[in-house]
Structure 1
Amino acid sequence: MQQIDWIILAGTLIFIVTYGVYKTRGSQNVQDYIRGGNEARWWTVGLSVMATQASAITFLSTPGQAFHDGMGFVQFYFGLPIAMIIICMVFIPIYYRLEVYTAYEYLESRFDRKTRTLTAFLFLIQRGLAAGITIFAPAIVLSAVLGWDLTTLNIIIGLLVTIYTVSGGTKAVNVTQKQQMGVIFFGMVVALVLIIQYLPQEITFTKALEIAGASGKLDIIDFSFDLENRYTFWSGIIGGTFLALSYFGTDQSQVQRYLSGKSVRESQLGLIFNGFLKVPMQFFILLVGVMVFVFYQFNHSPLNFNPAATNAVTQSVYAPDYQKLQQELEGIQDQKQEISIKYANAGKFSEGDRETFKAEMLQLNEAEIETREKATQIISSANSNVETNDQDYVFIHFILNNLPRGLIGLLLAVILSAAMSSTASELNALASTTVIDLYKRNVKGERTDSHYVKASKWFTLAWGLIAIAVASIADLFDNLIEVVNIIGSIFYGNVLGIFLLAFFIKFVKSNAVFIAAVITQVVIIRLYFQDIMPYLWLNLVGCFLVIVIAVILQLFLPQKPATLITKDEN
């Protein structure tokens, strides 16, 4: 990185933090600090909801996933627009009518305190872990690529986010996320334009898509019912809908974003805006990854994109074997370049020649995969502790090795802005849930608004430190964007089922729901660790399991109707 990159990177981050602190100074009441004074317009709500979900993991992992596996991951988001419509029709009107600060307040009025506390506790566990991962994700990649100390990076990212989140609460998160999403969109568009420009002169964008399609990277929809395949149309439209319902409807990090809306209509418009823009945005990010794949059909790439893996093997006795494989890979890539150009210009040839070129491309792709697998085995032999899965390093490797000066700093700012926006929402929601659902319900005596604002700030700081601690001891999974969704899928289905029971199945009372929720959570955790089904289906199974168990228990555990409590008693 050059001096101009450091200036752009530092300037962007300092501006965002300073702007957030300045714009939200003086928040002295709970309404302002937790619900942002209910001033947000629909575009602010929509961008804030989107920025909360689009963490650094999205911009690190998604292009790498497309590079290796193609566009199929976009099916994961097919259920999201459906979920947005349901939340707008059912969840938002109820939350606004009850004037709640958190989603879990409603559960005490419908059931009892222990059910509210259990659900809030489940949220705190999964979102606390996720907050650490959203810090850890960019930190470990930047550490490996730039040679920075990992713990130091975790602390820097965590503290930057914590500063303005403590200062301004929900309003600080909302106003800074608009700036962050602006940086993110601009940076990703610039990256795509540059990738296309870097292709050989005769390879237009259309021809690049043809090459990607011939290599199987544009296979978007899979209608199979194969449970071995994580991403199909059905897992996305069914499992993805339940995951999105759980996440956007019951996860306080999202609920808090649209509860800050100026009105029910503004919140609903914001969610609809997010629902119909999110799928194209993810498609676009995956397309960037596919274009990186096409770029490397005409340029040499390393056997493994993780610098730490490469360093580990080159400093071992396996270095000669690894170097031999690198030469084999370069030979394969030279052949791929020749065939890719022929295929792109296939209009000059017969249809039979075109199919021959496509078959040769696929054969060379298989040869490259086999060579990379051999390299992975050598890396593991050299150092069994080093991470060999390089999906999260593909895009950052392209950025650092191919973009011009200045734009490297911009793209790194994109990654760190995404990390900050998502983590800020999580810390804000964790603190709000802790104060409203746990602290306020158990503190004795009357307390002023100022007291609860101060408590929220201290809990924000505490959760920021916890997130930094989780990030510092976290381990890299196969793919970072998957691990965040896996963590959510383990808990979200259960929580969604509790809310659906509260909304629609009125005869089920508190004790049946509480016992069913505990049983369901144990079963879902067991199902995940036994790897019985793809993780997306855990959302559906968890939701239906808690509903069925609660209904059955209610038939055997009749209770007196729960006494409704008023808003003032909260």
Structure 2
Amino acid sequence: MENFGVLNWTILIVYLLVNLVMGSVLSKKVHSAEDYYLGNKTTPWWAIGLSVMATYVSAMSFLGGPAWSYGSGMGVMMIQINYPLVVFLVITLFLPFFYNSGVVSIYEYQERRFGKKARGVMSIIFMMTQALSSAAVLYATALVMAYITGVDVVTAIVVISLIALVYTMMGGITAVIWTDVLQAVILLIGAVIIFYALIDRMPESLGASLEALQAKGKMNILDWSFDLGVSATVWSGVIAMTLYHVTVYGANQMVVQRALAAKNIGDAKKSFMFMGFAAFFIYFLFLLMGVLFFHYYDGREFENSNTIVLQFAAEYGLPGLLGIVAAAVVAASMSSLDSALNSLATVTTVDFYEKYFRKDASSQHYLKASRWFTVVWAVLIVVPAILFAQNEGSVLELLTKAGSYFVGAKLSMYGLGFFSKHTTERGLLVGVAAGFAVVWFVATSTEVTWPWFCAIGAGVNISVSWLASLLLDGRQAEYSEYTIKGQKAMFREQGLPTEEGGWSRLPGKVDNVSWLLVVFFFATMIALYLFTAGI
């Protein structure tokens, strides 16, 4: 960008250097593979919570959120409305299993519950989906740099991947978390400044702008239709996307690995609850910005809608604003990429290299291997990132659609693991194959929209897995130790404490404070109704 200027460049460069320095200082605490994966379990819960938020509310939301609602209106808020319910389910069902077992890779649960093949399938699915997510993050960051510098996006992707690799190689989940804290704060400051500037530049009041948007059909948030061909309805948001996001947050190594770095299970749960309460406000802000941009630009078509925020920041003319926005987006995106590379390297090392190639090597050897696998994954994400660069729609929407093909299998594999008595590994794998086949057919041959792919895939997977297990292996005599019923029996028989610091260690037992998430969900639904009715 010709008008980026010295001040903006200074802000961007200094901010990146601060992150690199923080990463370098904190990486000195990494002395073993365990330090690289989980740190020393002294990180406070609020820092982990901010880290989770920064990882998922990054450039994909800051750029892609407004781009999505700019084209589709505020109705897409329904896709993001379910986070309180999601976190409620994750901290009740998923976290106790993972935290109590002391695992590094959450996919080790699949081996303990079903067998090695189930663990391998789940790990591979994670690596595929996370590589795509990382590529989208890299693309979003490259988009900012290309917009600023004038270089093409592909060149920016290559350059940024090298920078992100250097930062990641300093390693350690502790360094990742604490740099995320800074990045989350800067990202939200940038978003608030842009929102204020947008309101300031509106030719009329906010109320009048919302009325005009309502007349254009851009403020129809609550769509109660049962049409499966419409992606953003109340039912797709509350049912389909709750299932989708439960998998994203409960069966995702990149997210759960942070919770495993918490001091205790209470801190792990509180870190997730932070996101459960904050997500509504963050996504509402980003999506509201998108429809306001639609009004401000009078529905003008952009060559790439993901540049709307940057275009406005450049036009506004406030000294340093574009530098702050660019720094926030670039740093947050590189943080997401750092986190993904760390988790991908962890799964590759623990689930494959350590298990099948070097079983009894030293912790220092696995640390070195993890860092080399970080390099490998950094190289592998460049190709899909370049493919994302050819897309002109919202990167947030594109990423969510891509992930919807895979989450049904992950959800059903954990759901069956938690609740089913008779599901076996052979039956489970048959169900996974059937679920993929049905989702592919639905996606390519029907008008059903992508939010329902998870529910459809999971439903088919669960049904086929259960029936196939009965046919292949017969009825099982008792519940596995790694089901919820099995865990309750084990705790009872071994006399283990069911609580720690007032928080339940038992999977399936709801903490009293967790009910606040359910109350908050209904409060947000009512608030959206009143907001729409009041326009």
**TM-score, normalization: structure 2?**
0.85
1:506 corresponds to:
421
1:128, distance to aligned residue in structure 2 (A)? 0.9
Query: Which residue, 47, 50, 54 being the options, matches 1:44?
Result: 47
Q: In the alignment, what sits opposite 2:512?
A: none
SS state at 1:447 partner: coil
| Contact 1:141–1:392 (CA under 8 A) maintained in structure 2 | no
Equivalent-residue separation in structure 2 for 1:542 and 1:116 (angstroms): 19
Structure-2 change in CA distance of 1:468 and 1:21 (3 Å): farther
Pick from 332, 335, 341 the counterpart of residue 421 of structure 1. Answer: 335
Question: Residue in 2 aligned with 1:150?
Answer: 153
Aligned residue type for 1:180? Q
SS at match of 2:40: helix
Stretch deviating more after TM superposition (258-267 or 26-35) = 26-35
* Residue 173 of structure 1 pairs with residue 176 of structure 2: yes
Q: How does 1:86-485 map to 2 (within 5 A)?
A: 86-140=89-143, 142-143=145-146, 146-200=149-203, 203-297=204-298, 304-306=301-303, 390-474=304-388, 475-476=390-391, 478-485=393-400
Q: 2:87 aligns with which of 84, 89, 93?
A: 84
**How far apart are 1:261 and its partner, in Å?**
1.3
Structure 1 residue 564: Cα displacement: 8.2
How far residue 531 of structure 1 moved from its aligned partner, in angstroms, is: 4.6
Task: Compute the displacement of 1:144 (Å).
Answer: 5.3
CA drift of 1:526 comes to: 3.2
C-alpha displacement of 1:152: 2.6
Structure 1 unmatched runs, 5+ = 307-389, 566-570
Contact 1:227 1:534 in 2 (8 A): yes
Q: What SS class does the counterpart of residue 253 from structure 1 fall into? A: helix
What are the Cα deviations for residues 286-341 of structure 1, in whole angstroms up to 9, with x where unaligned?
122223233335xxx8x5322xxxxxxxxxxxxxxxxxxxxxxxxxxxxxxxxxxx
Q: Aligned partners of 1:55 and 1:531: how far apart in 2? A: 33
The C-alpha deviation readout for 1:231-274, integer Å capped at 9, x for no partner, is 01110001111011111011111111211111110111111110
Matched, 1:16 2:19: yes
Q: Does 1:524 align with 2:458?
A: no
User: Could you say what the CA RMSD is over the residues aligned between the two structures, in angstroms?
Assistant: 2.1
Partner of 2:403: 488
How far apart are the structure 1 equivalents of 2:480 and 2:273?
A: 35
Distance 1:46 1:26 in 2: 21
Question: What is the aligned counterpart of 2:32 among 22, 29, 32?
Answer: 29
What's the secondary structure of 1:37's corresponding residue?
A: coil
| 1:141 shift after superposition | 5.6
What is the CA–CA distance in structure 1 between the aligned matches of 2:441 and 2:157, rounded to whole Å?
31
1:548 is matched by which residue type in structure 2? S
Deviates further, 157-166 or 549-558? 157-166
Is it true that 1:72 corresponds to 2:75 in the alignment?
yes
Query: Do the aligned residues in 2 keep the contact of 1:25 with 1:168 (CA within 8 Å)?
Result: no
Q: CA deviation at 1:519?
A: 2.4
Supply the AA of the counterpart residue of 1:260. A
Counterpart residue number, 1:319: none
The answer to which of 212-221 and 432-441 deviates more is 212-221
CA distance in 1, matches of 2:174, 2:164: 14
Determine the C-alpha separation between the residues in 1 that align with 2:91 and 2:404. Answer: 22
**C-alpha deviations, 1:439-483, integer Å up to 9, x for none?**
111024511111111111111111111112332344315321112
How far the C-alpha of 1:426 sits from its partner, in A, is 1.2
| Higher alpha-carbon deviation: 216-225 or 234-243 | 216-225
The code of the aligned residue for 1:128 comes to A
Instruction: Describe the superposition over 1:103-147 as per-residue Cα deviations: whole angstroms up to 9, x where unpaired.
Output: 100110111101100110111111112211211133246425642
| SS across alignment from 2:120 | helix
Unmatched 5+ stretches in structure 2: 483-535
Alpha-carbon contact 1:305-1:397 (below 8 Å) kept: no
State the alpha-carbon separation in 2 of the partners of residues 45 and 122 from structure 1.
Answer: 25
SS of aligned partner of 1:38: coil
Is contact 1:223-1:234 (8 Å) kept? yes
Given that 2:247 and 2:410 are in contact with CA atoms closer than 8 Å, whether structure 1 keeps it comes out as yes
* CA–CA distance in structure 1, aligned partners of residues 345 and 444 of structure 2: 30
Q: Tell me which moved more, 60-69 or 274-283.
A: 60-69
Q: Does the 8 Å CA contact 2:144/2:326 hold for their aligned counterparts?
A: no
Using a 3 Å threshold, how does the CA distance of structure 1 residues 269 and 445 change in structure 2: closer, same or farther? closer
Write the distance in 2 (CA, Å) between the matches of 1:261 and 1:529: 42
Secondary structure in structure 1 of the residue aligned to 2:105: coil
Q: How many residues align?
A: 476
Q: Deviations over 1:346-376 (max 9, x none)?
A: xxxxxxxxxxxxxxxxxxxxxxxxxxxxxxx
Question: How many Å apart are 1:213 and its aligned residue?
Answer: 3.0
Structure 1 residues 534 and 141: CA distance shift in structure 2, 3 A? farther
One-letter amino acid of the counterpart of residue 28, structure 1: H
Q: Distance in 1 between matches of 2:34 and 2:52?
A: 19
- 1: CA distance, partners of 2:215 / 2:333: 34
Normalised by the length of structure 1, the TM-score is 0.80
Larger-gyration structure (1/2): 1
Q: Deviations over 1:124-175 (max 9, x none)?
A: 1111122112111332464256421323311232222222222122112111
CA distance in 2, matches of 1:543, 1:42: 32
Pair 1:273–1:7, CA change in 2 (3 A):
same
The whole-number CA distance in structure 2 between the counterparts of 1:158 and 1:189 is 28
2:462 paired residue number: 547
Counterpart secondary structure, 2:361: coil
Query: 1:272 and 1:211 mapped to 2: Cα distance?
Result: 36
How many angstroms apart in 1 are the aligned matches of 2:481 and 2:206? 61
2:396 is aligned with what amino acid? I
